[in-house]
Structure 1
Amino acid sequence: MSRLDIAGDARRTIDVIKNGGIAIVPNDTGYACCGSSMDPLKRIYDTKRRGSHKRNAMAGDLETQRELHTLSPRAQQMVEAIVVDHDLPLGAVGTFRRDHPLIRKLDDDTVKASTAAGTISMLLNAGSFHAELCRLSREEVVPLFGSSANLSGTGTRFSVQDIPDELKQIADITIDYGLRRYHIYRRAGTLINFETMEVIRMGACYELISGVLKRWFDVELPADPGLEVLPSGHLNEFALKNVD
C-alpha cells in the first residue's frame, strides 16, 4: 500500500466503536484511545491506571463544536480563528447543550465521566483521519470520547510502537499512521477554557495559538515556562480532571 486509506480506516474504526469496542487512533497531537460508552471507557481508565476523578475528552469537527458548545460569539470567533484561519489543533473547553443528539446518546455515568463544572472538552482540527472520523461521528450520531494512549502521567505517545502493550491489547482496532506531526512539542494538544480564557494545558502549537489570540483579539495568555518546568503541560486541578 502506497497511500493511506483514510476513508476506509475511519469507516472500520467507527464501526468498531459503534459496537462497543475500543480504538487506538492517530491525531496530529498524538495517539488516543477512544470509545463511545462507559464500558469501553472504563476499560481504558483501568488499563491506563487513571484516577476516576479525571475526565474524558470528546473528539469533534467544527460543525459539531458549533452545535454542541454554547460559547459567546466572541469566544466562538477565537476558536474559529485558531482552527480555521490559522489551521491549528485545539482542545476547546466550554459549556454545552445537554440536548444535543451526541450527548443524548450517553448515559448519566458517561456524561459525568466526560464533563467538569458544566463544561466539555473537544479536540478540534487534529489531522485528516481525525476529520474523517469526526464527520462519521456527527453524521451517524456516534459519540467519540477518550484520552491519550499512554499510562496516566507518562506523557503523550506519538508513534504506535511507543504505546504501552497493555493498551494495545485492549484495543479492538489500531490505526497506525506513523510518527505524528506535532511530536516535536513532546506534549499533547493545547487546552483552553473559552468560558474563562483559562489555559488548562500548554501543549502543541501553544506559542502560535497565543500569537493568534494576542494579535487579533488582544488576549494575552501566560508564557510557557518550558518543558523542564512543566513537562506535561498541565497547569491546574481542572487540567488533572480532563487530560492524560
Structure 2
Amino acid sequence: MTHSAKRSARTLGRPDIAGDTQKLWDVVSNDGLAIFPTDMGYSIWGGSLDAVRRINQVKRRGPHKRIGMVIGRDAQREILELDDHQWDMVDCVSIDYGLPWCSIARYRSDHPLMRQIEPGLLDLCTANSTVAAARNLGGPFLSRVEQLSLEHLHPIFGTSANLTGTGVKHRVEDIQSSILDAADLVLDYGPSRSIAGVSVGGTQFNFETMKLIRWGAMFDSIAYVLKRHFDLDLPPDPGRESSPHGHVDEFGLAKAE
C-alpha cells in the first residue's frame, strides 16, 4: 500500500495502516513530504519551512496563498480564539452534522504548538494573525497525525496534492507526476471514499470577518445548517465557471500581513 514517487507492486492482504501511519509521521517530522488520502482527496504534507516551500514551489502556488495547519479538534479549542457563539457554529457544522469544514480564526501565539513555528514558516501559514484549521477531512491517517503533532509539539502543514488550479485529485494516478516526484512517500489507498468527484477543497469561513472565503465541498449542506440554526446567509455558489477555484476573492490575501 505504500510507494515512493514510483508505483510499487500490488500487495495482498489487509493494509498495514498503523505501519503506514508511522512511515508517514517519520517523513513529515523529518523535513520530508508525504502524499496520503483523506475523504476530500489526496493531500501533500510537510512539517518544516523547507518542506512547505517545496510544496508551494512544486504546486506553483502564488504568494497570496496560505497553507493549512494540522490542528485536531481538541487542540483547536486551545488555539483558535472564538467566542461561544462561533464555537457553536463550528461544532454544529462539524459535529452535529458531520460536515467537512475549515475555520479561519485568530490564534493564540503563546500556545506551545504555535510557538514551534519559526517566523519564515509563520508567514506561509498565517495571514493577519489568523490560521486555517480543518475538521472532518476523514481518511485512515489524519486523526493520528493530529495527535502526534500535538504530542511531539511538531507543527504539520498540508494542502491538496495537485498543481494549483487543477482541482482535487481523488486517485494517485490522477496526481501530476511533478507532484508525485516531489514526495518522499506516497500512500495509495485507492479512490477517495465519500465525496469523490468534488473538484474543490473544503469550504472555508473566516471568523475574524464573519465572511465566507471559499465555496467548497458540501457547501450547500453547510449553508443550510448555518441558515437554519444561526440565521446566517452565505452567498450562493456561482459555480466553477464564475469562480474556478471556489474562492470568493482569489487574491484577497495578496497584501495580507
Where on the TM-score scale, by shorter chain, does this alignment land: which range?
A: over 0.9
Q: Contact 1:234 / 1:240 at 8 angstroms: preserved in 2?
A: no
Structure 2 residue matching 1:101: 3-state secondary structure: coil
Q: Name 1:98's counterpart in structure 2.
A: 109
CA distance in 2, matches of 1:141, 1:10: 17
Q: Equivalences for 1:99-178 in 2 at 5 Å?
A: 99-128=110-139, 129-178=141-190
Distance 1:4 1:82 in 2: 32
Aligned residues: 241
Aligned counterparts, 1:1-244, within 5 A: 1-128=12-139, 129-180=141-192, 181-237=194-250
Q: Does structure 2 conserve the Cα–Cα contact (< 8 Å) formed by 1:11 and 1:133?
A: no
Aligned CA RMSD, in angstroms, stands at 1.7
Structure 2: tracts of 5 or more residues without a match: 1-11
Please give the alpha-carbon distance, in whole angstroms, between the structure 1 residues aligned to 2:19 and 2:94.
25
Q: Rg bigger for which structure?
A: 2
The Cα of 1:240 is off from its aligned counterpart by 6.2
- Greater per-residue helix proportion: 1
| Alpha carbons of structure 1 residues 196 and 53: separation in structure 2 relative to 1, 3 Å | closer
* TM-score, normalising length: structure 1: 0.92
Q: Does the 8 Å CA contact 2:70/2:133 hold for their aligned counterparts?
A: yes
User: With structure 2 as the length reference, what TM-score do the two structures score?
Assistant: 0.88
SS of alignment partner, residue 195 of structure 1:
coil
Aligned counterpart, 2:9:
none
Distance in 2 of aligned mates of 1:111 and 1:130? 22
SS at match of 1:41: helix
Q: Contact 1:82–1:88 at 8 Å: present in 2 too?
A: yes
Extract unaligned runs of 5+ from structure 1.
Answer: none
Mapped to 2, the partners of 1:64 and 1:82 lie a distance apart of 18
CA gap 1:213/1:111 in 2 versus in 1, 3 angstroms: same
Between 1:122-131 and 1:201-210, the stretch displaced more is 122-131
| Aligned-residue offset at 1:238 | 5.6
Q: Compute the displacement of 1:30 (Å).
A: 1.6
Q: What SS class does the counterpart of residue 183 from structure 1 fall into?
A: coil
Give the aligned residue type for 1:149.
Answer: A
SS in structure 1 at match of 2:43: strand
Query: Do the aligned partners of 1:75 and 1:195 also contact (CA within 8 Å) in 2?
Result: no
CA drift at 1:159: 1.3
Determine helix, strand or coil for the equivalent of 1:120: strand
